[in-house]
């Protein structure tokens, strides 16, 4: 493993160690939290469309199951490696504990480029992977879901293969499925909706009125579009957005629905009528009240953090702010709602899906929305209480909240 690959997990543990210092945890407890319970590495031979067999490598990591079965997505990407999967499964333990849902952390992935594969190749790859991990996952063991480059259809293939291998039809083994096979209403917009509820709580404590608030968003995908629409409906002005190709800016605000229609037609926000062209990173530093990073990781760095003008940053992307930038934002007095809190709406509604599958009874979208609002609101208040109590930044407060819950569970089980 290269030095670069080997560094991500070590970086991911830094907030844990800060939280452990604040909580005065013993070194052996930190060692347990820094270790994974189980990691599965599988080889998946797939017959490609050209008749040749190609072997792919797949992973499934279970970090800590003291609070419940492991839970986390499955990604298909050429950059997937063991170090990344370990980091992501650890983050899922933290995220699930922050919002108080009864799960530990899990994550899976396959090293591949799905954009270069046919539908048939993807299905054969998925079914091969599902057959390999079937005995390690389960409704009370480890519940996969979609992640980068995976979809509800791919989840359906995993579920079907699991049913065949185990001889049991257990819809709750997979979440973010199609509604026709036990998916939950409200799941598609859950990450954006959860981020919106977090924003509502944050503006309350900051005394920042939403009506007229200027919002800048980096990213224009499944998380960004819903939160922009909800904030627009509350009277906020969407002054800047960007996608992977371009950015647009209009100080008077832009209609999110029109932006989405434009992107659907042209494949980018580029050239949106009435807007000025800006770069893909300009939304980070434009004059605004709320900045929402909803694209890639490590976008706010020590090189641009001092130029951030927002009063509030709501992290919908995973890991958009580097530790060095975090410190700068804190010193500038910018309030950050961290990713492990702000983007937990998706996994929360996945939890609701799992609950509905186990009951065999399904809620309306209004019921899902009401429950999501309550969970996100309570999670924000818990993290904010740690923020005030220990006089620390919100990210560390989120880790303090989560780590304490995981440690309490391990102690109750007698594991430490």
SS3 category, 346: helix
Domain assignment present for residue 347? The answer is no
Strand arrangement, sheet containing 214-218: 276-278, 247-254, 237-242, 214-218, 290-293, 312-314, 335-337
Per-residue confidence (pLDDT) for residue 222, from 0 to 100: 86
Work out the pLDDT band at 111, boundaries 50, 70, 90: very high
CA distance linking residue 313 with residue 371, whole number of Å = 24
Listed residues 304, 319, 342: the one ending a domain:
342
pTM: 0.92
Residue range 129-133: mean pLDDT, rounded = 97
Alpha helices (H) along 75-134: 82-98, 119-133
Please check whether residues 140 and 216 belong to one and the same domain. no
Work out the pLDDT band at 250, boundaries 50, 70, 90: very high
Work out the pLDDT band at 307, boundaries 50, 70, 90: very high
Sign of the CA dihedral 219, 236, 364, 101? positive
Please check whether residues 203 and 162 belong to one and the same domain. no
Using only C-alpha atoms, what is the Rg of the chain?
21
The CATH number for 333's domain is: 3.40.50.720
Domain assignment present for residue 377? The answer is no
Instruction: Verify whether residue 265 is a known catalytic residue.
Output: no
Of 387 and 319, more confident: 387
Listed residues 116, 145, 172: the one ending a domain:
172
Sign of the CA dihedral 283, 286, 292, 296? positive
Domain assignment present for residue 360? The answer is no
Kindly write down the DSSP assignment for every residue of 203-234, as one continuous string. HHHHT--STT-EEEEE--STTHHHHHHHHHHT
Residues 106 and 61 sit within 8 Å (Cβ to Cβ)? yes
Main-chain dihedrals φ then ψ at residue 399, nearest 5 degrees:
-65, -40
SS3 category, 286: coil
Work out the pLDDT band at 176, boundaries 50, 70, 90: very high
Please check whether residues 154 and 278 belong to one and the same domain. no
Please check whether residues 111 and 206 belong to one and the same domain. no
CA distance linking residue 184 with residue 247, whole number of Å = 33
Domain assignment present for residue 162? The answer is yes
Q: Which one of the listed residues 107, 177, 189, 263 is annotated catalytic?
A: 107
Q: What percent of the chain has pLDDT over 70?
A: 99
The CATH number for 45's domain is: 3.40.50.10860
Assigned token pair, 10? 């070590």
Residue 385 above 80 pLDDT?
Answer: yes
Average pLDDT, the chain: 95
Please check whether residues 157 and 196 belong to one and the same domain. no
Residue range 375-396: mean pLDDT, rounded = 96
CA distance linking residue 317 with residue 191, whole number of Å = 10
| Residue among 317, 249, 316 nearest 283 (CA) | 249
Range of the domain at 109: 3-7+35-172
Work out the pLDDT band at 168, boundaries 50, 70, 90: very high
Residue range 70-84: mean pLDDT, rounded = 95
Please check whether residues 54 and 118 belong to one and the same domain. yes
Please check whether residues 243 and 105 belong to one and the same domain. no
Per-residue confidence (pLDDT) for residue 83, from 0 to 100: 94
Please check whether residues 199 and 281 belong to one and the same domain. yes
Residue range 28-33: mean pLDDT, rounded = 97
Listed residues 141, 172, 203: the one ending a domain:
172
| Residue among 278, 280, 327, 286 nearest 299 (CA) | 280
pLDDT tens for residues 37-60?
A: 999 999 999 999 999 999 999 999
The C-alpha torsion from 218 through 151 and 178 to 366, rounded to 10°, is -20
Please check whether residues 162 and 229 belong to one and the same domain. no
Sign of the CA dihedral 334, 340, 346, 352? negative
CA atoms within 13 A on the CB side of 352: 28
Per-residue confidence (pLDDT) for residue 3, from 0 to 100: 39
List the beta bridge partners of residue 242. Answer: 218, 247
Residues 86 and 70 sit within 8 Å (Cβ to Cβ)? no
Residue 87 above 60 pLDDT?
Answer: yes
Please check whether residues 114 and 198 belong to one and the same domain. no
Per-residue confidence (pLDDT) for residue 4, from 0 to 100: 43
**Degrees to nearest 5, angle at CA 301 with 298 and 303:** 145
Domain assignment present for residue 336? The answer is yes
Please check whether residues 316 and 227 belong to one and the same domain. yes
Domain assignment present for residue 15? The answer is no
Domain assignment present for residue 184? The answer is no
Total number of domains constituting the chain: 2
Residue 6 above 50 pLDDT?
Answer: no
Main-chain dihedrals φ then ψ at residue 61, nearest 5 degrees:
-115, 135
Please check whether residues 335 and 195 belong to one and the same domain. yes
Domain assignment present for residue 258? The answer is yes
| Residue among 216, 199, 236 nearest 280 (CA) | 216
């Amino acid at each position: 493993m290269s030095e670069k690959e080997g560094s991500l997990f070590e970086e991911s543990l830094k907030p844990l160690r800060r939280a452990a210092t604040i909580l005065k945890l013993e070194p052996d407890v930190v060692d347990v939290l820094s270790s994974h319970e189980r990691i599965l590495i599988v080889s998946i031979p797939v017959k490609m469309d050209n008749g040749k067999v190609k072997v792919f490598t797949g992973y499934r990591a279970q970090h800590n199951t003291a609070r419940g079965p492991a839970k986390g997505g499955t990604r298909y990407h050429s950059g997937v490696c063991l170090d990344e999967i370990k980091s992501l499964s650890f983050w899922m333990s933290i995220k699930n504990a922050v919002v108080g849902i009864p799960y530990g952390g899990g994550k899976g992935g396959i090293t591949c480029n799905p954009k270069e594969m046919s539908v048939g190749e993807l299905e054969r790859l998925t079914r091969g992977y599902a057959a390999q991990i079937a005995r390690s996952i389960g409704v009370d063991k480890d519940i996969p879901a979609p992640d980068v480059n995976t979809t509800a259809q791919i989840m359906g293939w995993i579920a079907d293969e699991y049913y065949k291998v185990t001889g049991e039809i257990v819809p709750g083994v997979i979440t973010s499925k199609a509604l026709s096979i036990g998916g939950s209403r409200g799941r598609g917009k859950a990450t954006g909706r959860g981020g919106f509820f977090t924003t509502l709580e944050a503006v309350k404590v900051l005394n920042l009125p939403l009506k007229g608030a200027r919002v800048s968003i980096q990213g224009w995908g499944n998380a960004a579009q819903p939160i922009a629409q909800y904030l627009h409906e509350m009277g906020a002005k969407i002054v800047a957005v960007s996608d992977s190709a371009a950015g647009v800016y209009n100080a008077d605000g832009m209609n999110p629905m029109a932006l989405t229609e434009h992107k659907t037609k042209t494949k980018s926000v580029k050239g949106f009528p009435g807007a000025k062209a800006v770069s893909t990173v300009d939304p980070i530093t434009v004059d605004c009240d709320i900045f929402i990073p909803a694209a890639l990781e490590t976008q706010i760095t020590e090189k641009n953090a001092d130029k951030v003008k927002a009063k509030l940053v709501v992290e919908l992307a995973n890991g958009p702010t580097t530790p060095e930038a975090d410190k700068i934002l804190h010193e500038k007095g910018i309030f950050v709602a961290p990713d492990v809190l702000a983007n937990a709406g998706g996994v929360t509604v996945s939890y609701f899906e799992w609950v509905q599958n186990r009951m065999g009874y399904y809620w309306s979208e209004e019921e899902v929305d009401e429950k999501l609002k309550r969970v996100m609101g309570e999670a924000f208040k818990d993290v904010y209480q740690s923020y005030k109590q220990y006089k620390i930044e919100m990210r560390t407060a989120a880790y303090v909240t989560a780590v304490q819950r995981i440690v309490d569970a391990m102690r109750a089980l007698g594991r430490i």
